[in-house]
Amino acid sequence: MASDQVLPPLPQQFKLIQHHMRTAQEHEKRDPVVAYFCRLYAMQTGMKIDSKTPECRKFLVKLMDQLEIMKKQLGDNESITQDVVGNAHIENYAYKMFLYADTEDRAGRFHKNMIKSFYTASLLYDVLTVFGELTEENIQHRKYAKWKAAYIHNCLKNGETPSSGPLGMETEFENEDDVSLPQSSDSNNLVADMPSSDLSNIQTPTADHPPSNFSTIQIPPGAHAPANTPAEVPSTSVLPSTPTIQPGPQNIPIIDPSLYSIASQGEMHLTPEDYARAQKYCKYAGSALQYEDVGTAVENLQKALKLLTTGRE
């Protein structure tokens, strides 16, 4: 296992990636794909920070070796071999962590595991940059998750009751650089004090739409997380809560009859990118079915069928 390869101590210059490395370690067995891309992000970021200082270079070389071992071990996993699938895997995982934390927040259930879910989601949105520029939605998710993790952590630390949702943050939420996560020992305790066991039996929210009054953040449609993505168990000691938000009725889209006739008009000449995008839609559809979300499954399957039969989305 990659975790058996002992890395040198993290150089002080790489403090910025310490929690991405910790997240990789926590997901070593729970979700190796997440662990792999967290380390890949850490290596790419570390190279930009300092690749010449002896201790930094030594760390990066060992990290590269670790990544090579993982890549061989996961060689038959499409999330590793195909960027589109890997991007969808990390995005879905981050989305599930984000939605779980946001639902807990809006229900007034403030606890360490909810903070960690916000915190981890923000780190995973960082990791998504290994695939290219973030979408506007993911940029907003990352900003909001960072803000919430720091805000709720500080409130609980000071014995204060946090406010649910984005209320009171609109004027503060203009620049991501202004959002600071807990630092030093507080930041370490934030992560270290929380359980990291695989708790995949925990029921997480299945709503496709964001909670009410979620004015500044938009959740991308159809971005379902795999069912085996572990969530953190809520603390048994929580503040008084409001009712949990329930998912609304499913809207199943009508199947376009023209898609069936198009398929018989001749063979399409598709590019590798077309096939990759079609796989992404099928992956979203499969994840949606795990949540019994027929509407989103049908919608994504129709997108895949249209792409495969017309070459257009």
Predicted local confidence at residue 212, as pLDDT: 32
Residues 37 and 134 in one domain: no
Query: pLDDT digit string (tens) for 62-101?
Result: 999 999 999 999 999 999 999 999 999 999 999 999 999 9
Domain that holds residue 45: 2-80
Predicted local confidence at residue 304, as pLDDT: 83
Number of domains the chain is built from: 3
Computed on alpha carbons and rounded to an integer, the radius of gyration of the chain in Å comes to 21
Backbone angles phi, psi at 40, to 5 degrees: -65, -45
Residues 33 and 22 in one domain: yes
Q: Residue 79 in contact with residue 86, Cβ under 8 Å?
A: yes
CA distance 279 to 303: 10
Residues 64 and 149 in one domain: no
Query: Which residue from 136, 130, 126, 134 is spatially nearest to 97, judged by alpha carbons?
Result: 126
Residues 61 and 98 in one domain: no
Does residue 218 belong to any structural domain of this protein?
no
| CATH code at position 281 | 1.20.5
Predicted local confidence at residue 298, as pLDDT: 85
Backbone angles phi, psi at 117, to 5 degrees: -65, -45
Residues 89 and 178 in one domain: yes
3-state DSSP call for residue 289? helix
| CATH code at position 95 | 1.25.40.270
> Residue 186 is encoded by which pair of tokens?
């507080």
Does residue 228 belong to any structural domain of this protein?
no
From 163, 192, 221, give the residue that closes a domain.
Answer: 192
Cβ-proximal residues to 30 (8 Å cutoff; 6+ apart), any chain: 196, 198, 230
Place of tokens 């009410």: 212
**Weakly modelled stretches of the chain, pLDDT under 50:** 1, 3, 169-250, 263-264
Using the CB atoms, write b or e for 195-223: b if 16+ within 10 Å.
ebeeeeeeebbeebebbeeeeebebeebb
Does residue 235 belong to any structural domain of this protein?
no
